[in-house]
Every structure is written in C-alpha cells, then in structure tokens.
Amino acid sequence: MSRKPVRDMNQETLLSELNDRSREVFRRVVQAYLETGEPIGSRTLTRELSEKVSAATVRNVMQDLELLGLLDSPHVSAGRLPSQLGLRLFVDGMMEIDNVTPTDRAAIDQTLGNDDPDTGMLLDRVSTTLSSLTHGASLVLMPKHEAPIRHIEFVSLAQDRALVILVFADGHVENRIFTPPPGQTPSSMREAANFLNAMAEGKTVAELRSFMAREIAARRRELDVLAAELVDSGLALWDNEASDPRLIVRGRANLLDSEAADLDRIRVLFDDLERKRDIVEFLELTEEGDGVRIFIGSENKLFSLSGSALVVSPYMNADRKIVGAVGVIGPTRLNYGRIVPIVDYTAQLVGRVLSGRKG
C-alpha cells in the first residue's frame, strides 16, 4: 500500500488504496470502536482476522492506515481508533445498513397510530420513541401550521404558568405554555381571549400577528390593564415561536450514559440543545436532498460540540414539500447501521401520517 498524502485523495481513491487485508483490519478497528469506544491493538486484531498473520504485520497495516488518515493513535503504546475521515469512509463505503427490526417498527407504528389532533403532541411522542430506541438524543423539527385560526383560549395552570390553546379551522390544535404577566385572573383571561377571537377568526397565525401589531394600540382602551398585558404576552409568544418551525429535543440523559467519561463535552452539547440554536439551519441540512444524511464530528455545524454525530432525514407533506425533519444526535460511535433505517422509516411514516390529515 503506497503512502500518498490524504489531502490529495477522495473516498474512491482511498478505497482503492486498501487491499483485502487492510480493508479487514480497518473494518474491525471501526467496528470495535463503534461497539466499545475503545482503541484496539494489533495483538487483539491478530486473533480476530480471517487471515493468519503476525502481530507485527497487523501493526504495519495499521501504521499505513494511520498515514492515510483513516486511523488515529490516542497514545504511543495504545491501539488505534478510526479518525473522522475513517468513520466517514466506513459509513459511506463499507457500512452494512440493517433493516428496521419488527420490534422497532412496531414501536414507531404504535407512536404514530394514535388519532391525536395535536400535531405537537404526536411529534413529541415520536421524539420520545426515537430517543428510547436509539439511546441517543432525538430531534424532531415540527412544521409551522398555515391553516386559519378558529378559536383561542387562555387557561391558568399556576400563578406563573398559563396555557394558550389555538384551534385551527382544519381541526389542528396547538398548546403553548408561557409565563403570563403577574396578577392575571380568570376574568382577565376570558377578556383577553374574547378580544383576540374577535380579530382572529379566518386569519392564519402570521396574518393575526401582523394585524395585531397594527390594531393593539388603537383598541387597547377596550381592555382592562391585565387583559391588555395578556394580549401583549400572546403577541410576544407568537413572535418568538409560532411563526417558525419548532424543535423538540428528547433523551438528553442518554448522552450522559453514552459518554459519561467526557462530561465537559456533554455539558456543551446540553447547552446547545437547550438553546435550540440554528433551528432553521437544521432544516436546511435536509433540503439538499431526500433521504437520510449523516454528519460526523466537525461536519456537524449545528452544534459547537465537534465530537458528536447527527443522523437526520426530512419528511414531506402531501405535495412532496419538505416541511420538517427527524434526527438522532449522539457520540460519533453511534450504531449507524441500526439508527439510519430507524430515522429513515420514522421520517417516511411521519410524512404519510401528516399528509393524510385534512388541510
């Protein structure tokens, strides 16, 4: 095997550099990493190879693979791990994709089998199921809803928590929890809801938001102070959330289980997920083509944590327009062969379920 600079090679060239022995060594190093997260040494590999060769021969092969940029050596005396380039080469050119198991398929089907008019709650269950099946953190990007509003209602949950319920003309229901202005009473909530409903019927969320911005000052005298503050809160809520797709994140605790030795990296990832950064970019990642995409390490520009992997797939509406996405994020040693078909199947099923609804 010659030793050309890795920067001059594409994946096809790199694969052509690997003979049968080096391919098997490389594949076993990657598989060991995906299973254990630990480097593997030449002596261990020698016992596992189909060809009977010495540990010295295996060491030479591993050194060649390292020179090609496919393996890394964390310590001088330690075994080898796949590099980011090596993982990408394995995922794109050598990985065997499993079928969705009957058990996984049944769990996903059951999640989407309930006739729930609230798309948010439906996709929340999808996100919870994805994180449970994959043992990673799941991401589900909800579509924004364009149907006209039929009814708005405020419900007090606690002194500092309230619920706004939006019922759309197509039967779709959205619930949003927010912090109301202090001092709200059932009377002020009813007054605020009546005021909004008088303006809302027949308008989409975007149209209502624009209309309210023009009308709220002129008609504020129709409301008492508390109700006016609540209407302002509702306007701010729609400005911040309802006009954009919404990202649901579940299963953060799974990341602690998978990478407990590197808590600093996981805290950074938690922080990014909590802030739900770059939601629009997350959707844009999926708009470049249909099907599952895999981002490994620094290829994943969504999060400041470079040691993560993201498996993501778009889902489409009845018009074959991409309206959202589902994905799984975790350490780079994700079980890609199992997770890729799970994400793909979930995205296709979500698209079919949402396309079958009215509106």
Q: Which of 200, 218, 238 is the last residue of a domain?
A: 238
pTM, entire model: 0.71
Task: Tell me what percent of the chain is helix, strand and coil, each rounded to the nearest 5.
Answer: 50, 20, 30
Q: What span, in angstroms and rounded, lies between the C-alpha atoms of 163 and 236?
A: 14
Q: Which of 84, 125, 140, 137 is nearest to 269 (CA)?
A: 137
Residue 88: give its domain's CATH number: 1.10.10.10
Residue 308: give its domain's CATH number: 3.30.450.40
Give phi and psi for 259, each to the nearest 5. Answer: -130, 45
Q: Could you tell me if 132 and 37 lie in one domain?
A: no
For the packed helices 102-113 and 336-355, what is the interaxial angle rounded to 10 degrees?
A: 30
Residues of the chain with pLDDT under 70: 1-9, 76-77, 114-117, 144-145, 206, 213, 216-222, 234-245, 257-262, 265, 271-290, 300-306, 357-359
* Number of structural domains in the chain: 3
pLDDT score at 90: 93
- Express each pLDDT in 4-57 by its tens digit: 333 445 777 778 778 989 999 999 999 999 988 889 988 888 888 888 888 899
Tokens 């969320």, residue?
Answer: 205
Q: Which of 337, 334, 347, 237 is nearest to 291 (CA)?
A: 347
118 with 329: CB under 8 angstroms? no
Residue 197: give its domain's CATH number: 3.30.390
pLDDT score at 182: 85
Structural domain span for residue 304: 102-144+245-357
Q: Could you tell me if 139 and 268 lie in one domain?
A: yes
| Residue 8 neighbours by CB under 8 Å, 6+ apart | none
Beta bridge partners of 313: 326
Q: What span, in angstroms and rounded, lies between the C-alpha atoms of 137 and 35?
A: 18
Q: Lay out the sheet containing 293-296: strands in order across.
A: 246-250, 137-142, 322-331, 308-316, 293-296
Q: Could you tell me if 165 and 127 lie in one domain?
A: no
Beta bridge partners of 40: 80
Q: Could you tell me if 233 and 189 lie in one domain?
A: yes
Q: Which of 238, 257, 286 is the last residue of a domain?
A: 238
